Amino acid sequence: MVKKVLIIGAGLGGLSAALRLSKKGFEVTMLEKHNKAGGRLNQLKKKGFTFDLAPTFFSMTYEFKELADSCGIDIPFEFIELDPLYEVNFAGDKKFYRIYKDLNKLSYEFDKIEPGFKERMERYLLSASALFNDVEHTIIKKNFVSIMDFILQMTKVPVRHLPKLYRTLWQELGRYFNSYEVKVIFSLIAFFLGTTPFNTPAIYSILSYTEIQHDGYYNVRGGMYKIVEGLLRELEKDHVHIHYNREIIDYKKSGEKISCLIDNKGEEWDADIYVINSDAAWFRNKIFKRRSYSDEKLLRKKWTLAPFTMYLGIKGTIEKLYHHSYFLRNNFRDYSVKIFRNRIGLDEPYYYVNAVSRLNPESAPEGCESIFILCPVPDLRFKPDWTDRQQVADIIKDDLSQRTDYDIRGNLITETIYDPGDWEKMFNLYKGSGLGLAHNIRQIGGFRPSNKDEEYNNVFYVGSSTVPGTGLPMAVISSKLVMERITNEFSFV
């Protein structure tokens, strides 16, 4: 008998899981809180401008190919490779460091401040690649039935990598490089995880390997939301129906199983199997009211930085702005250590800018720019009041104007701001934490909330706060892991 699966949340993890399970013969239905699919992988349209809502690039494109191949389809969108990858500017410095995949070109950017850069980078990447190859299938792409199972798998990782568990990413970079600028730039990968290089384990140096040598970074032709639209077309072919404006608020159980989930309209949804694409820790707290995920215990966990995002429609062309840019200052350690807990002001913020219309001109009217800005900020535990949001936005706009020699305010056509409170409400993000649980040693692999519920044997989880972690390719891997778990535990004819 065909098993019915109900998936809660139509983010990338939920959509990927739905596609995998429908191809396996399961009858899949989805519920989504919003009026459109995508979760944080979404888009905003305003006054003729189109913006990617949150993710603006990604690596490990082969995970999307694996998804398509395993489902017997063509990849339903087109990659745009980024090379150069991005630019970085430090306050007070006219130079914009351009980050290339080609090590010869990259060396030209840094040889003056880091003599012997190419050789140093080759050694750094060699160490990172060795770690990546040793953990990709034993840790990253594996389910764990228990913490002991995870620890057992960790013993299979060569012991030469062990020191990376105890060093920070910043310390790891210091073993290879001397230049402040080089260490800062190549530690920015920690912010992709929603944290800082001073509290991120050195094992995440593998991200430098994936960005420069292994795969690189990519965007999508027509904008990142084309990923969602492509998956939706494939799901429609498989008759997977998505019910929008449905938020789960309660449930009923029968023994060790969930018998139904109840939405905000009072409707009960029954299924054989439930897959939760809402945050795995948040859902256990708010819906299941699990003691092990109480408010008190969630407060003690490490969460990622919250996003402060701006979506600007600009008249004209900002010539000095690259497609992806980071605008930094010269107090990196002090800022990084203090920003988490709101111990430093946002009067001189660090921020990232994506000129959306450089790669996808159709995202802006002719002669205009679509600009996305992300500033990592404290979550609502440490800064609950965002009445100063316009002031923070104006500081960023003025700083960007100064560094690019372009009057942003004077050419502003439209502006939308989302602070951490908005992100919390839109996507049920715990205290506005942008990427869910952080990736410190006690919250990686088998120490993350499991993708199989600990009490109800027909409930599973997919997404950033479960295994393997945060990011678009990780969401796709997460969908594979949960599909494997379900197909191993549930058989049907």
Domains of the chain by start residue, with CATH: 4-45+59-77+220-301+438-489 (3.50.50.60), 104-215 (no CATH), 306-427 (no CATH)
Residue 13 has pLDDT above 70, yes or no: yes
The average pLDDT across 370-383 equals 97
In this predicted structure, the answer to whether residue 241 has a pLDDT above a threshold of 80 is: yes
Please tell me the predicted confidence (pLDDT) of residue 91. Answer: 97
Query: Mean pLDDT, the chain, as a whole number?
Result: 96
Q: How much is the average pLDDT of 432-451?
A: 94
Q: Which stretch of 69-83, 173-187, 189-203, 211-225 has the lowest confidence by average pLDDT?
A: 189-203
10 Å Cβ neighbour count for 393?
20
pLDDT, position 493: 39
Mean pLDDT, residues 135-149: 94
Residue 148: how many CB atoms within 10 A of its CB?
A: 10
3-state secondary structure the chain: CCCEEEEECCEHHHHHHHHHHHHCCCEEEEECCCCCCECCCCEEEECCEEEECCCCCECCCHHHHHHHHHHCCCCCCCEEEECCCEEEEECCCCCEEEECCCHHHHHHHHCCCCCCHHHHHHHHHHHHHHHHHHHHHHHHCCCCCCHHHHHHHHCCCCHHHCHHHHCEHHHHHHCCCCCHHHHHHCCCHHHHCCCCCCCCEHHHHHHHHHHHHHCCEEEECCCCHHHHHHHHHHHHHCCCEEECCCCEEEEEEECCEEEEEEECCCCEECCCEEEECCCHHHHHHHCCCCHHHCHHHHHHCCECCEEEEEEEEEECCCCCCCCEEEEECCCHHHHHHHHCCCCCCCCCCCEEEEEHHHHCHHHCCCCEEEEEEEEEECCCCCCCCCCCHHHHHHHHHHHHHHHHCCCCHHHEEEEEEECHHHHHHHHCCHHHCCCCECCCHHHCHHHCCCCECCCCCCEEECCCCCCCCCCHHHHHHHHHHHHHHHHHHCCCC
CA 72 to chain centre: 26
Confidence (pLDDT) at 221? 97
Using an 8 Å Cβ cutoff, are 60 and 210 in contact? yes
* pLDDT at residue 2 tops 90: no
Instruction: Give yes or no for a contact between 212 and 84, defined as CB atoms under 8 angstroms apart.
Output: no
Task: State in Å, rounded, how far the first CA of the chain is from the last one.
Answer: 5
Say what the pLDDT of residue 284 is: 98
Mean per-residue pLDDT, 385-392: 98
Residue 492 pLDDT greater than 90, yes or no = no
At 23-40, the pLDDT tens digits run 999 999 999 999 999 999
Q: Report the pLDDT value the prediction gives residue 490, as an integer from 0 to 100.
A: 85
Encode pLDDT of 311-364 as tens digits: 999 999 999 999 999 999 999 999 999 999 999 999 999 999 999 999 999 999
Q: With contact defined as beta carbons under 8 Å apart, do 239 and 248 qualify?
A: no
Q: Given a cut of 70, is residue 270 above it in pLDDT?
A: yes
Q: How far apart, in Å, are the Cα atoms of 196 and each of 420, 438, 440?
A: 18, 10, 11
**Taking the mean position of all CA atoms in its chain, how far away is CA 133?**
22
